[in-house]
Amino acid sequence: MTLKQRYDRIDHEVSASCEACGRSADEVTIIGVSKTVGLEAVEEAVAAGIHDFGENRPQELARKRDAFPDERWHFIGNIQSRQLSTVVGRACLIHSLCERSHAEKIDRLAAELGIVQDVLIEVNDGEENKQGVQPDELFDMLMACSKLEHVRVVGLMTMAMRGSLGDARATFSDLRILRDTMRDKLARCGVQGVDLHELSMGMSDDYLEAIPQGATMVRVGRAIFSDDYAS
């Protein structure tokens, strides 16, 4: 299959999944995770209809954004403080914020650029070797971010454990419930500017499990860019 054929299949599956659960396909953005491919593959992906891309290394984010400035570039990698200056202002959305010190640095860098940087808070799914805010610490993180003038939290992100679609489905459901709980709690506290409308969850192996649970962004790499990916 060509890249376009793979993407068209995924786009069709996303639309069908949305229809099956009473959602509009417009509610779900397919992010092409281009972290393992070069500029030629990105160009092919743009021609196929992909306009949101995810990168996990700051220098690659900068290189590809410079080459394709009209596309939307998402930063999905682990945050390293010393590299944030490469990410802030280049990424339309940072998916992996999970430390207050990073939020504060993003705020300072965005202030210098005269922008507000959109971010997602990454939530840990319970695996010890993964980063992310623990669910019982999320409210405090949201409150801290709400006080930063140049950081705007627009939602949550998580990564499910690979191997079990049932476990992935439970992880995605838990994130949606947590999001709804946080929304109610923030509203009761009168907190402004934290909307949490985005849920970034689901990857090549499990994105169809994420959509019925409310995903608004699915991060798909291998299923789009790999010739030998088998769904």
At 156-176, the pLDDT tens digits run 999 998 878 999 999 999 999
* DSSP secondary structure, the chain, as one string: --HHHHHHHHHHHHHHHHHHTT--GGG-EEEEE-TTS-HHHHHHHHHHT--EEEESSHHHHHHHHHH-TTSEEEE-SPP-GGGHHHHTTT-SEEEEE--HHHHHHHHHHHHHHT--EEEEEEB--S-TTS-SB-GGGHHHHHHHHHT-TTEEEEEEE--PPTT-HHHHHHHHHHHHHHHHHHHHHHHHTT--S----EEE---TTTHHHHGGGT-SEEEESHHHH-TT---
CA distances from 52 to 72, 124, 148, 150, 195 (A): 5, 24, 26, 23, 21
CA dist 27 and 19 (Å) reads: 11
Contact between 107 and 88 (Cβ < 8 Å): no
CATH number of 3-225: 3.20.20.10
Quote the pTM value. Answer: 0.95
**Position 229 confidence tier, pLDDT thresholds 50, 70, 90:** low
pLDDT of residue 188: 94
To the nearest whole percent, how much of the chain has pLDDT over 70? 98
Gap between the terminal Cα atoms of the chain: 13
At 55-108, the pLDDT tens digits run 999 999 999 999 999 999 999 999 999 999 999 999 999 999 999 999 999 999
At 192-219, the pLDDT tens digits run 878 899 999 999 999 999 999 999 999 9
Q: Is the pLDDT of residue 227 over 90?
A: no
